[in-house]
Amino acid sequence: MDLGSLYQDVILEHNRSPRNWGELAPPSQRADGRNPMCGDEVTVWLTIDNDRVAEVSFVGTGCAISKASASMMTQAVKGKTRAEAEQVFAQFHAMVTGRHANPADDPVLGKLKVFSGVARFPARVKCASLAWHAMKEALDAQP
Amino acid sequence: MPLVYLDNAATSQKPQVVIDALARYYSAENGNIHRGVHYLSEKATELYDLTREAARRFFNARHAHEMIFTRGATEGINLVAASFGQAFISAGDEIIASTMEHHSNIVPWQLLCERTGAVLKVIPVTDAGELDMDGYRSLLSERTKLVSVVHVSNALGTINPVAEIVRLAHEVGAAVMLDGAQSAPHTAVDLQALDCDFFVCSGHKMLGPTGASILYGKESWLERMPPYMGGGDMIEHVTFERSTWAPLPAKFEAGTPSIGDVVAFRHAIEYLEQVGVESIAAHEHALLEYAVEQVREIPGLTLVGTAAHKAGVLSFVMDCAHPHDIGTNLDSLGVAIRAGHHCAQPLMRRFGVPSTARASFYLYNTRDEVDALVKAIHRVRSVFA
Ligand SMILES: Cc1ncc(COP(=O)(O)O)c(C=O)c1O
């Protein structure tokens, strides 16, 4: 199978230099994600100010897909309201599981479209969504 | 593009004789065992027990009725944990396993310890991926009731000194269970010489179908252990007041087993006997040495598991790419390997990695396929480094 659709340059680049890497000092909200299939782990921190994601960061061990997806997740949700962040996740999840009718024209997805190839690699869907699940949990966590 | 299958530690491919035996069984020999007086039931029963005798011969057990059919190594270990545990394990007793166990040789003992108040002790592993035998000796005591260790590690390939492990355990009166899921397909196993008390294998890793495997137990233990599951085939006499158990091996084979798989499993055993397990081991060892020689040259690649005695397992990590990415990239080049924790998370933690990439060889693999593997790993480097 053609791997170009999975390992796009943007993904490889985020894998090499992940954005928003590191812990956020308390008081921040955090949640852990774990993929029991491969043992990968991610922790997401965020702070909420006026119902908006003010700061967001992550640390984790994982493959290029999971690391790049965590990195781009932090960029995508920063500054968004809770509802908007959850909306981006919903669209992202639909895209990587192949249930999004037309990801190419979805303005909510923006740069995240580079992950559309994941839908053709069912074994990698969990990698792409790990940090997103943690982000969603962190939104509801107590600071 | 030809497929290079190097995930044999997960499951092996099946020779045509095994596939034919499955088809023949369901086309012409299918009946339930130990029940009917009709031709097909008798035929199925006869074929079923032929496999038991083949397994006895292959592993050099004393009696055919010491060979119990299970679905896999997991079921065999759980059977011993439940049944031996019920009869012989109580609060304060100790069970010994090692850091390099498959989860199937950890979790059943944890469950047993929770039920009984027994304590699970763990043999440490050295940096090379060998059992720390001094550590093992210091764990043994009169409290030790059972030692359960892996014969050949699925994650590292280490061949453990099991004869010595058995001897030392018997000195303190402990029984020994060997997890032979990775040894049975690749090395000669002589149960009477090893003198272990229990042994499990996985038929599907040794050319057989999924669904048929062996639990070996010494007659003297199996006779004194209670049944694992109750049901048809395992009874002598049933009343609501009291039931009595069938003799071995039926006592441990309740219900309709995976008859077709058991029948075809004999053809896998005979295939291995014809090729010769010793020559299989030699072939795999040559492939391993050839592979190690080449991957050692690859910058940023680290082998995990460098024991002096190793079966054909090549576990590695790369500084530029996560095992998952290695696995997906190799797959796109037609090379099938495993990427993950290999159901051995405590061992991964011991080596400070979340997972590894693992190529594992079998009798049908070739030097050309090792070349394909090495070439594919170089490609990974060119993408990620
Ligand atoms: C060392 C070892 N033990 C036990 C098992 C479990 O075997 P099964 O899944 O066939 O029950 C495996 C299989 O991966 C193994 O490699």
Q: Is B332 in contact with A2 (Cβ distance < 8 A)?
A: yes
Does the pLDDT value for residue A3 go beyond 80?
Answer: no
In chain A, where the domains are located: 3-140
Q: What whole-number distance in Å separates Cα of residue B186 and Cα of residue B196?
A: 18
pLDDT below 50 — which residues of chain B?
A: none
Residue B116 is predicted with a pLDDT of 98
Residue of chain A minimizing CA distance to B354: A39
Supply the CATH classification number for the domain B277-384: 3.90.1150.10
Q: Of the residues B103, B104, B215, which should be mutated to test ligand 1's pocket, given the most ligand atoms within 8 Å of the CB?
A: B104
Atom number in ligand 1 closest to CA B152: 1
Q: What's the pLDDT at B72?
A: 97
Judged on CB neighbours under 10 Å (0-12, 13-18, 19+), B27 is exposed
How confident is the model at residue B234, as a pLDDT?
Answer: 84
Chain B CB contacts of A70 under 8 Å are none
Return the pLDDT at B39.
87
CA neighbor of B73 nearest in space, from B198, B167, B249: B198
User: Per residue in A54-68, pLDDT tens?
Assistant: 999 999 999 999 999
Max Cα-Cα span within chain B: 72
Structure tokens at A39: 């043992």
Domain assignments of chain B as residue spans, ordered by start: 16-274, 277-384
Shortest Cα distance from B354 to chain A (angstroms)? Answer: 6
Quick: pLDDT tens for B142-167: 999 999 999 999 999 999 999 999 99
CATH fold of B16-274 reads Aspartate Aminotransferase; domain 2 (3.40.640)
Q: Is the pTM of this model over 0.90?
A: yes
pLDDT of residue B254: 93
Which alpha helices (H) appear in A58-124, and where do they start and end? 64-77, 82-96
CATH placement of domain A3-140 = 3.90.1010.10
CA distance linking residue B322 with residue B329, whole number of Å = 11
Task: Please report the pLDDT score of residue A143 as a whole number.
Answer: 86
Neighboring chain A residues of B354 at a CB cutoff of 8 Å = 38-41, 61-62
- Condensed to tens digits (0 to 9), the pLDDT of residues B338-361 reads 999 999 999 999 999 989 999 999
Instruction: Map residue A61 onto helix, strand or coil.
Output: strand
> Residue A1: pLDDT band by 50, 70, 90 thresholds?
low
| Nearest CA residue ID for atom 15, ligand 1 | B181
